[in-house]
Structure 1
């Protein structure tokens, strides 16, 4: 605010030849900063200086010059500075960055990004045919990058990624097999080595990377348990790499039904080497099992077509196992532990699905009772 002499105690204002007003002010770094925009009246300029002063007092001020870095440059640096990311995650982020973020927003200065601009970018991806799932992943990556720009690097005052629901993937409902269908699929595997793979992945709710990383000492036939300790990752370049699980909760001990123990016993005896650290599921030549090799050697597509479920993915076996576990009456905590999740979100989906199915059963029973009563009344 101006003092009695008409001079401001913080910053100064000068009138430009154009008639507009420009502000200058000292920053916490000891340098004088020029406002990033000009103002039509002295009053507007004065208000801008008052706001900046208040931001400095509260610690919310960010240097507008720092926000001039382009998003593309900043995002690439952001990714390089995260060596702790799992290889597959880093590969996904790099692909999303180069394919979807940089083409649309890479040339925009971080400080110039706004919620409307990001909303327009997101809508453009969907209009081009990019799936809702991929668009949501790209949006979440952008939000994470800009959160660092806010909280750590102080490039901007707040994150412009504020579009409600933009981070939701809304993936379509995946198919669920019956118990009979699971055993039928296992029996239809063209290579008998994969019968145990199908049954174990389903009834222990294992991901592909988890089941293919299992070793002999991870399976306890007497206790009927399987220890999940690591995962096998196949990178886009073809490299196979053993790595840590997605989260601490991913390291877990899962109980397996007694009915598949004979199949596992036979598999361990016929196909697995004797050392405790021998891998349980390998390719024909003794190398790590790749997804493409499995589908080809097992004649996966042919088996699904014969069963009438051509759209089934291997991951749907885990989905089936989770659904069966929920239908057994498992608690939320039990489902989380079995699935290897830290949050309640995924487990709740299965619990809700089970309750919905149970309600449909009750409604169908009610309708049948009413129909029978009507028949008796007419008779």
Structure 2
């Protein structure tokens, strides 16, 4: 077996994980390939662990770890190895800590059964934990147990409840163009274009909050998405790259917004090429929690109910779809990834993307003509 540098190894193997730590694996006397119960900060540490493990086998001191390794110990190692984005790490870590470990932490890994998993899930739901949280917790548990199967620690994943890993979410509404403009009128002036771009380009909150002047091309009517703002309880505000290559994209905006966007840049945006296009009410980075108060007042003033900011993105997606955009064009414009294209930059041909934006523009003008 080869180590992480490609050299042949007499016993076991070592590989470097995405987290930067090292995993040691070895063949037990029973013929099964096993992973060390923990990962190591250096390859040398992993090598030394394998030397000791080989000595245990040769001297007859080896004990089958399948009989003693607990879910908690394995899950801790598993989670450390994940190459998660900050927000995903926080969300999945919370599900593991609050909803999975209290039940399974001290249970021997190979003794977890499907009926136990079924009871655990039912108990979460009956105790009032929201269905989306239960779905996320089940997904994390299933992923851990899948890795345990791959590591040869268990023969079969006990997470076999049909539909338990799929969230049942109600279809969100999309707004009419007139409703978008009512919302834009209801927010303070420096947030007006923020609302309009969210609805008519489909950019996410974090993408809009991270926009810099250099990302806006008024002549070509495009916005380049290169980064996003994320907020976590542990790390606070983070400026990060989009979580997939498809999220890095250039989106055309309707010509009707050009004058308003230019005025916004002159009046409300920070100075300099890297100055933020949109800022909070008191300047600085726009935060979702602070904007929420503005949003709630605006939807009330606009006479709307049960409208989320993300529904503006849904509105933009719907308008683009009615303009004849193909599924692939929609995925590219909205920054969605498929398994096949997760790490590949995908950009629309400029002419076709502008056709989509022009269709949105025609809808805006129709609404303005009716109101005028």
What TM-score does the superposition give when structure 2 sets the normalisation length?
0.72
Q: Is the CA contact 1:64–1:156 (under 8 Å) kept in the aligned structure 2? A: no
| Residue number in structure 2 paired with 1:196 | 193
For 1:127 and 1:73, locate their aligned partners in 2 and report how far apart those are by CA, in whole Å: 28
Structure of higher RCO (CA pairs closer than 8 Å, 6+ residues apart) = 2
For 1:95 and 1:112, locate their aligned partners in 2 and report how far apart those are by CA, in whole Å: 24
Offset, 1:32: 11
The within-5 A match list for 1:158-177 is: 158-177=156-175
Offset, 1:67: 5.6
Offset, 1:30: 3.1
Q: Is the CA contact 1:175–1:316 (under 8 Å) kept in the aligned structure 2? A: yes
| Residue number in structure 2 paired with 1:78 | 78
Give aligned pairs, total.
285
For 1:292 and 1:238, locate their aligned partners in 2 and report how far apart those are by CA, in whole Å: 15
Deviations 1:91-126 (A, max 9, x none): 111111111111222222211112222122112111
Against the structure 1 CA distance between its residues 31 and 326, is the aligned structure 2 distance closer, same or farther, given a 3 Å change threshold?
Answer: closer
For 2:68 and 2:78, locate their aligned partners in 1 and report how far apart those are by CA, in whole Å: 16
For 2:142 and 2:135, locate their aligned partners in 1 and report how far apart those are by CA, in whole Å: 10
Offset, 1:343: 2.3
Against the structure 1 CA distance between its residues 271 and 109, is the aligned structure 2 distance closer, same or farther, given a 3 Å change threshold?
Answer: same
Match of 1:215 among 208, 212, 215: 212
Match of 1:230 among 197, 208, 227: 227
For 1:330 and 1:301, locate their aligned partners in 2 and report how far apart those are by CA, in whole Å: 32
For 2:31 and 2:300, locate their aligned partners in 1 and report how far apart those are by CA, in whole Å: 71
Q: Is the CA contact 2:186–2:302 (under 8 Å) kept in the aligned structure 1? A: no
For 2:234 and 2:282, locate their aligned partners in 1 and report how far apart those are by CA, in whole Å: 20
The within-5 A match list for 1:1-379 is: 29-30=28-29, 65-66=65-66, 68-82=68-82, 84-151=83-150, 153-189=151-187, 191-237=188-234, 239-296=236-293, 299-343=294-338
Q: What value does the CA root-mean-square deviation take over the aligned residues?
A: 2.3
Max radius of gyration: which structure?
Answer: 1
What SS does the corresponding residue of 2:258 show, helix, strand or coil? helix
Structure 1 residue ranges without an equivalent (≥5): 1-26, 34-62, 346-379
For 2:27 and 2:315, locate their aligned partners in 1 and report how far apart those are by CA, in whole Å: 58
Q: Is the CA contact 1:332–1:344 (under 8 Å) kept in the aligned structure 2? A: no
Offset, 1:90: 0.8
Offset, 1:137: 0.8
Query: Post-superposition, which runs of at least 4 consecutive aligned residues in structure 1 deviate over 4 A?
Result: none
For 1:181 and 1:295, locate their aligned partners in 2 and report how far apart those are by CA, in whole Å: 18
What TM-score does the superposition give when structure 1 sets the normalisation length?
0.71
For 1:29 and 1:150, locate their aligned partners in 2 and report how far apart those are by CA, in whole Å: 16
For 2:227 and 2:67, locate their aligned partners in 1 and report how far apart those are by CA, in whole Å: 41
For 1:324 and 1:94, locate their aligned partners in 2 and report how far apart those are by CA, in whole Å: 37
